[in-house]
């Protein structure tokens, strides 16, 4: 067990190294450079471009640049090329903004998908199953942004729920209670929208998994014992059907940092996703690479968590 | 109504028909099956795979998924109760408590995420008001009864830690949990190797004596039938074609299908010879021939066999067969 853990961590560190190299190369292979972002701007003289390249170490060979970059990252001294602010501080601030969206969205997704998927599977081909199937495919096929705008129009005109940003402009002056309420209201629509796509996909997956397990011989054995259908479904079948989702549970970790570009852009939510998107447009290499690196760390940590969880829940897997 | 309410008749299946409705023609998997099981009797249902044995067994326990299965006709009486008229809750009380089943595939019939102690104990707890501790002790005793060594230690094992034979023993322990009147064993040894098969058969025979149960034993192997049966039903393509005491079936078979099965059985006399095998295979239940379902594969086939499938001909002492050709000609009597 401890040996497995050690081996696994070493493997993941090696993987992380390759990820860092590859992402670094890809960024530098991609056309465009921060110094050329605005070459037609008459204020940008060739001398300035040259100075900028020097400043950002862009004139050095790639491997030196790589070493310099990751040294700065580990020292925590890395700064954004756009505003010279420490990248880690920027990310932390955005991360805290994205966190509520992520938590509420994930909670909604998981708590809705499971009951819906399980019930559809148990009542296969019934009215409930058919309507949830229809709804899921509808939600999967409608583009998220389109659905978002329809909802926004409806919610703003009919319910007067605020939808843009994290809080109403100028609300900072109000009492804490008002501010909390205001923030909660702002969370509603983006989290629901963030969850709909997830619910549509995950509930299908839960249904499929549950259906497969219901057809297994041991479920028939459980019935043959004279157990009630509740025990058969919720004890014998569900316990097995849940196993693959334990793996998925570890893999939602990276979602912590990815955020959702589309949702955050639509709602002008100052979160991680939007920061990453803007950094890519602005060729802000330090920000892009740091986010990339942190995401890789979380993915690898997630797989480790999945493996460990799997060992806990599936008696067949022992190391 | 049940014709013999106070006799030793335990199970009686009458003209049972189970169809599967999918795309295409209806598959008449069980097409009018009659049989009886008396108390403390071992009844064998024998036939090639695909002839409807498992579907019949699942119909008795009410375990068929409907749809796709449809009970198209017939009645099942168990100890005076008409099973098809029983409310779901009563049917559930019957399952595991009075009728238990041992399945064909020991490798997949146990739940991989629960210990065997849990799974056997659950069979006790669901039907009886006992404490967890009593259930535990019962479980240990049951595992001991079915020949699991050091049952206290094996209690916490998961199915994957057990061999196929041991798993089948656990399945049997589970079936025995409430001392049922009837155990339906659906090819319990088919997936096991020969020595383990013999052990399991001996175990079932011993348990049947000790616990005074009836066994409905389903198999495709006449060798197994010879080892345990009191009474035998030979099934072919969803119908019973011959029935009789084990003696009658082995010494005076009166249906060409039974005779063909016997011919394909390896015996000492046939040592060194090439074993007989019945030409062709069981027709798919959706595409059965008219007349006698066996006629395309039958060596005694006459033109009339292609048109009509007559009822049983009586040979006395409960021995009956559904072949008019052998009945009229008397073939078989001198052969055996
Ligand atoms: N769920 C099902 N759907 C359709 N056909 C089935 C189903 N289960 C069994 N059958 C058909 O019923 C026939 C009898 O099957 P079965 O009772 O399992 O045979 P066996 O005698 O080998 O136990 C087979 O031809 C099989 O194809
Ligand atoms: Mg079968």
Could you give the C-alpha distances from A128 to A140, A228, B137, in angstroms and in order? 18, 22, 44
Contacts of A223 in chain B (CB under 8 A): 63, 95
pLDDT of residue B101: 93
Q: How confident is residue A316, by pLDDT bands cut at 50, 70 and 90? A: confident
Across the beta sheet with B81-82, the strand order is B27-38, B9-20, B69-78, B81-82
A313 and B CB contact within 8 Å: yes
Contacts of A315 in chain B (CB under 8 A): 112-113, 115, 158, 160
pLDDT of residue B313: 87
Of B95, B115, B158, the CB nearest to A316: B158
Q: Which residue has the higher pLDDT, B330 or A14?
A: A14
CA-nearest residue to B178 within chain A is: A225
The yes-or-no verdict on residue A22 having pLDDT over 60 is: yes
Quote the pTM value: 0.83
Q: Which of A20-29, A72-81, A167-176 has the least mean pLDDT?
A: A167-176
> Are the beta carbons of A131 and A138 closer than 8 angstroms?
no
> Are the beta carbons of B120 and B206 closer than 8 angstroms?
no
Mean pLDDT, rounded, for A7-34: 85
User: Which ligand is closest in space to the CA of residue B51?
Assistant: 1
pLDDT of residue A3: 81
Question: Is residue A106 one of the residues assigned to a domain?
Answer: yes
Contacts of B109 in chain A (CB under 8 A): 217-218, 220-221
Mean pLDDT, rounded, for A220-245: 91
> Are the beta carbons of A87 and A80 closer than 8 angstroms?
yes
pLDDT of residue A193: 83
Of B93, B108, B115, the CB nearest to A216: B108
Q: What is the ipTM of this complex?
A: 0.88
Could you give the C-alpha distances from A127 to A124, A131, A197, A214, A219, in angstroms and in order? 9, 6, 22, 19, 24
pLDDT of residue A150: 86
Other beta carbons within 10 Å of B68: 11
- Cα A136–chain centre separation: 20
Which H or E run includes B234?
strand B231-236
Question: Contact A315/B123, CB-based, under 8 Å?
Answer: no
Question: Is residue A71 one of the residues assigned to a domain?
Answer: no
- Between CA A161 and CA B75 the distance in angstroms is 63
CA-nearest residue to A214 within chain B is: B65
Question: Is residue A54 one of the residues assigned to a domain?
Answer: no
pLDDT of residue B299: 86
CA-nearest residue to A242 within chain B is: B113
Chain A, residues 238-257, CB within 8 A of chain B, namely: 239-240, 243
Position in ligand 1 atom list of the atom nearest CA B65: 1
A318 and B CB contact within 8 Å: no
Question: Is residue A90 one of the residues assigned to a domain?
Answer: no
Mutate to test the interface with A, among B78, B94, B113 (most CBs of A within 10 A): B113
Question: Contact B109/A218, CB-based, under 8 Å?
Answer: yes
Question: Is residue A112 one of the residues assigned to a domain?
Answer: yes
Convert the pLDDT of each residue in A237-278 to its tens digit.
999 998 888 878 777 877 777 667 888 888 888 888 888 888
**Is ligand 1 within 6 A of the CB of residue B31?**
no
Question: CATH for B9-98+180-329?
Answer: 3.40.50.300
**Is ligand 1 within 6 A of the CB of residue B20?**
yes
Other beta carbons within 10 Å of B93: 15
Q: How confident is residue A32, by pLDDT bands cut at 50, 70 and 90? A: low
pLDDT of residue B334: 45
pLDDT of residue A176: 78
Taking the C-alpha atoms of A141, A122, A247 and A198 in order, what is their torsion angle to the nearest 10 degrees?
Answer: 20
Sorted by sequence, the CB contacts under 8 Å of residue A168 that are 6+ apart come out as A162, A182, A186
pLDDT of residue A18: 92
Give residue B220 CA to ligand 2 midpoint distance, Å.
Answer: 9
pLDDT of residue B335: 47
Position in ligand 1 atom list of the atom nearest CA B51: 21
Convert the pLDDT of each residue in A109-129 to its tens digit.
999 999 999 999 998 888 999
For the ranges A47-51, A111-115, A315-319, the maximum mean pLDDT occurs at A111-115
pLDDT of residue B17: 94
Chunked mean pLDDT (size 10), chain B, 336 residues: 66 93 85 92 92 93 88 91 91 92 90 93 90 92 88 91 90 90 90 82 86 91 88 93 92 90 82 81 85 88 86 87 83 51
Evaluated on CA atoms B140, B144, B148, B149, the torsion sign reads positive
Rounded to the nearest angstrom, the minimum Cα separation between B63 and chain A is 7
Q: Which residue reads 């009837």 in tokens? A: B182
The yes-or-no verdict on residue A318 having pLDDT over 80 is: no
Return the DSSP state at B264: T
Of B61, B108, B160, the CB nearest to A224: B61
Give residue B254 CA to ligand 2 midpoint distance, Å.
Answer: 25
Of B103, B113, B127, the CB nearest to A221: B103
Domain total in chain A: 1
Mean pLDDT, rounded, for A129-136: 92
Domain residue limits at A183: 98-282
Give residue B230 CA to ligand 1 midpoint distance, Å.
Answer: 26
pLDDT of residue A43: 66
Mean pLDDT, rounded, for A202-212: 93
The domain ranges of chain B are 9-98+180-329
Q: Which residue reads 């008001």 in tokens? A: B129
Question: Contact A221/B126, CB-based, under 8 Å?
Answer: no
- Look at ligand 1, atom 17, and give the residue with the nearest C-alpha: B52
Rounded to the nearest angstrom, the minimum Cα separation between A311 and chain B is 12
Position in ligand 1 atom list of the atom nearest CA B104: 23
Instruction: Give me the CATH number covering residue A185.
Output: 1.10.3720
């Amino acid at each position: 067990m401890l040996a497995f853990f050690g081996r696994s961590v070493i493997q993941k560190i090696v993987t992380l190294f390759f990820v860092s190299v590859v992402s670094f190369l890809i960024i530098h292979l991609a056309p465009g450079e921060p110094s050329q972002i605005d070459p037609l701007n008459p204020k940008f003289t060739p001398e300035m471009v040259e100075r900028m390249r020097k400043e950002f170490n862009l004139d050095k060979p790639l491997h030196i640049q790589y070493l310099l970059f990751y040294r700065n990252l580990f020292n925590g001294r890395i700064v954004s090329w756009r505003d010279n602010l420490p990248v880690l501080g920027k990310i932390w601030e955005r991360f805290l903004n994205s966190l509520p969206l992520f938590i509420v969205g994930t909670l909604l997704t998981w708590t809705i998908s499971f009951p819906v998927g399980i019930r559809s599977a148990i009542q296969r081909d019934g009215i409930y199953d058919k309507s949830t199937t229809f709804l899921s495919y509808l939600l999967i096929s409608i583009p998220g942004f389109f659905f978002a705008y329809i909802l926004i129009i409806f919610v703003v005109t009919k319910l007067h729920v605020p939808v843009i940003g994290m809080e109403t402009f100028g609300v900072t002056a109000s009492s804490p209670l008002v501010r909390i309420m205001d923030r909660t209201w702002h969370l509603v629509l983006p989290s629901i929208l963030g969850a709909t796509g997830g619910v549509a996909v995950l509930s299908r997956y839960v249904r499929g998994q549950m259906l497969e397990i219901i057809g297994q011989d041991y479920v028939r054995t459980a019935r043959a014992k004279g157990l009630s259908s509740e025990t058969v479904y919720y004890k014998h079948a569900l316990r097995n059907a849940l196993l693959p989702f334990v793996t998925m549970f570890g893999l939602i970790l990276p979602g912590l940092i990815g955020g959702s570009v589309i949702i955050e852009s639509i709602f002008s939510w100052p979160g991680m996703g939007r920061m990453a998107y803007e950094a890519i447009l602005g060729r802000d290499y330090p920000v892009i690479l740091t986010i990339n690196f942190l995401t890789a760390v979380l993915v690898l940590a997630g797989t480790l968590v999945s493996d460990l969880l799997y060992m806990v829940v599936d008696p067949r897997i022992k190391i | 109504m049940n014709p013999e309410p106070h006799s030793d008749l335990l199970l009686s299946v009458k003209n049972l028909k189970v169809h599967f409705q999918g795309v295409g023609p209806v598959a008449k998997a069980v097409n009018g099956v009659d049989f009886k099981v008396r108390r403390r009797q071992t009844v064998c249902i024998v036939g090639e795979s695909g002839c409807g044995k498992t579907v019949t067994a699942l119909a008795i326990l009410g375990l068929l998924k409907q749809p796709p299965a449809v009970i198209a006709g017939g009645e099942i009486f168990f100890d005076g109760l008409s099973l098809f008229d029983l409310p779901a809750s009563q049917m559930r009380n019957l399952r595991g408590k009075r009728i238990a089943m041992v399945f064909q595939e020991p490798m997949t019939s146990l739940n991989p995420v629960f210990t065997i102690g849990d799974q056997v104990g659950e069979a006790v707890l669901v039907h009886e008001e006992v404490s967890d501790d009593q259930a535990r002790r019962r479980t240990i005793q049951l595992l001991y009864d079915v020949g699991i060594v050091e049952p206290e230690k094996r209690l916490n094992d998961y199915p994957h830690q057990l061999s196929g034979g041991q798993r089948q023993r656990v399945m049997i322990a589970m079936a025995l949990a409430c001392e049922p009147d009837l155990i339906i064993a659906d090819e319990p040894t088919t997936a096991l190797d020969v020595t383990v098969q013999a052990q399991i058969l001996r175990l079932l025979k011993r348990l049947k004596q000790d616990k005074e149960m009836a066994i409905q034993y389903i198999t495709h192997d006449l060798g197994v039938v010879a080892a345990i049966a009191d009474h035998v039903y030979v099934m072919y393509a969803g119908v019973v074609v011959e029935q009789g005491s084990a003696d009658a079936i082995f010494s005076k078979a009166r249906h060409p299908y039974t005779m063909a099965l016997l011919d394909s059985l390896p015996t000492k006399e046939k040592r060194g010879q090439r074993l007989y095998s019945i030409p062709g295979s069981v027709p798919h239940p959706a595409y059965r021939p008219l007349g006698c379902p066996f006629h395309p594969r039958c060596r005694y086939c006459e033109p009339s066999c292609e048109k009509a499938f007559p009822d049983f001909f009586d040979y006395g002492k409960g021995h009956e067969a559904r072949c008019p050709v052998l009945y009229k000609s008397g073939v078989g009597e001198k052969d055996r």
